Amino acid sequence: MKNAIRIILAVLLLSIIQLNASAGPASPTKPVTIAQFGHVFLYMPLYVAVRKGYFKEEGLDVKLVSTGGDEKTFTAVVTGNAQFGVADPTFTAIARERGQGGKVVASIVRGVPFWVVTFRKDIKKFDDASAFKGFRIATYTAPSTSYAVMKNILQNNGKPVDAKIVQGAFGTLLALLKAKQADMALEIEPIVSLATHEGGQVVYTPAKILGDFAFTGLTVSDDFLKKNPEDVQKAVNALAKSMSYIQTDYEGAVSVAKAEFPDVAEPVVREALKRLIAEGTIPASPLLTENAWNRAIALRKEVGDLKSAGSFADNVDMKFADKASSALRNAQPTKKAK
């Protein structure tokens, strides 16, 4: 009997050894740092890619760090303190003007994801920028995209509007409204939805004027791109999967958003996410069009942040996004007609 038990145990042990040998060692993941402007709801494709494991599927172990500024984010990239940056993509062109090269390799936020909100009941919805006359509008501090967009709006196609921009740190603009230090604020989600749930209203939508726009991108330095094209492709692949997930699984995206922003009430999360998906702010793919890039560059030139051409060819490389998007489309099963 004892010999039989020994034989059974030996067979089991041999089976376990063979299974482990056939499985092989676990594929290692490469540590990479992604610097971001801050923990921003608009960057949902990034957070979904982390929480759903899309980066790890591609072999990347991602660490997120916040810099507190668009320019600081790209500085972290060009100095090698981060391999990727998530912020205003036009800072690649601004940095190139200063002798620091870089490329935008994916789009993360498209269009102009700002809405002007107010708690004042005497201000009604308007489409003409001249209606800002005499008011104080809160934006994030210069040289943020928020400030640049509002400055552009008030220039009003060569007919300047007599209004004042009140600059405030990220997360403080609603407080400025409530303290009556500003009349309106140019805000992003989920703060826009938070304002509407607290009795505020959306009175102006800049996207109607600026149209398709390169707002946030994934950036890399020229040096990192040259030496690590495989890692760039892996990161863009993960974002493409994330964007597809958000477009096809709203409830799943809500779950990720709730986990990522636990202090935001679920009704606010739902309204914010629905608006961003419906208006294309969260893109369906990481591809960035030349038209969207040119609009963003034109804005930077108009407000005086950029003097050079800032061309699409010099500052944007979409081959990784194109490959990721094509692979995802080919992997999706074809729907049979009913």
Is 219 found in the same domain as 191?
no
Rg of the chain on CA atoms, in Å? 24
Is 131 found in the same domain as 34?
no
Is 89 found in the same domain as 40?
yes
| The pLDDT value given to residue 333 | 53
Give the number of residues written for the chain: 338
Is 99 found in the same domain as 86?
yes
Residue 308's nearest CA partner among 162, 145, 122, 101 is 101
- Is 162 a member of any domain? yes
For 223-254, how does the pLDDT look when each residue is reduced to its tens digit (9 = 90+)? Answer: 999 999 999 999 999 999 999 999 999 999 99
Is 205 found in the same domain as 219?
no
Residues 218, 86 contacting (CB under 8 angstroms): yes
CA dihedral sign of residues 84, 212, 186, 197: negative
How would you class 265 by CB atoms within 10 Å of its CB: exposed for 0-12, middle for 13-18, buried for 19 or more? middle
Is 219 found in the same domain as 105?
yes
- Is 320 a member of any domain? yes
Q: Which residues contact 4 (CB under 8 A, 6 or more apart)?
A: none
Is 318 found in the same domain as 299?
yes
- Is 336 a member of any domain? no
Q: Which residues contact 90 (CB under 8 A, 6 or more apart)?
A: 214, 296, 297, 299, 300, 305, 306, 310
Strand segments (E) across 171-284:
184-187, 201-204, 214-221
- Residue ending a domain, choose from 148, 183, 210: 210
Q: Tell me the three state secondary structure of residue 102.
A: strand
- Is 2 a member of any domain? no
- Is 273 a member of any domain? yes
Helix (H) or strand (E) holding 277: helix 266-278
Is 216 found in the same domain as 102?
yes
Pairing, β 84-87 against β 60-66: unpaired
- Residue ending a domain, choose from 184, 210, 236: 210
| The pLDDT value given to residue 300 | 86
Pairing, β 164-168 against β 184-187: unpaired
| The pLDDT value given to residue 306 | 87
| The pLDDT value given to residue 332 | 64
- Residue ending a domain, choose from 210, 236, 263: 210
Backbone angles phi, psi at 163, to 5 degrees: -140, 165
Number of separate domains in the chain: 2
| The pLDDT value given to residue 100 | 85
| The pLDDT value given to residue 15 | 45
Is 60 found in the same domain as 79?
yes
Q: Cα torsion for 72, 75, 81, 85, to the nearest 10°?
A: 70
| The pLDDT value given to residue 327 | 87
| The pLDDT value given to residue 317 | 97
Is 217 found in the same domain as 206?
no
- Is 9 a member of any domain? no
**What's the CA gap between 124 and 201, in Å, rounded?**
9
Instruction: List the chain residues with pLDDT less than 70.
Output: 1-27, 332-338
Residues 117, 187 contacting (CB under 8 angstroms): yes
Residues 104, 90 contacting (CB under 8 angstroms): no
Is 228 found in the same domain as 99?
yes
Domain span at residue 104?
Answer: 30-111+212-331
Residues 251, 259 contacting (CB under 8 angstroms): no
DSSP state of 285: S
- Is 337 a member of any domain? no
| The pLDDT value given to residue 303 | 76
Is 233 found in the same domain as 197?
no
Residues 165, 141 contacting (CB under 8 angstroms): no
DSSP state of 316: B
Q: How many CB atoms lie within 10 A of CB 262?
A: 8
**Domain of residue 77, CATH code:** 3.40.190.10
- Is 15 a member of any domain? no
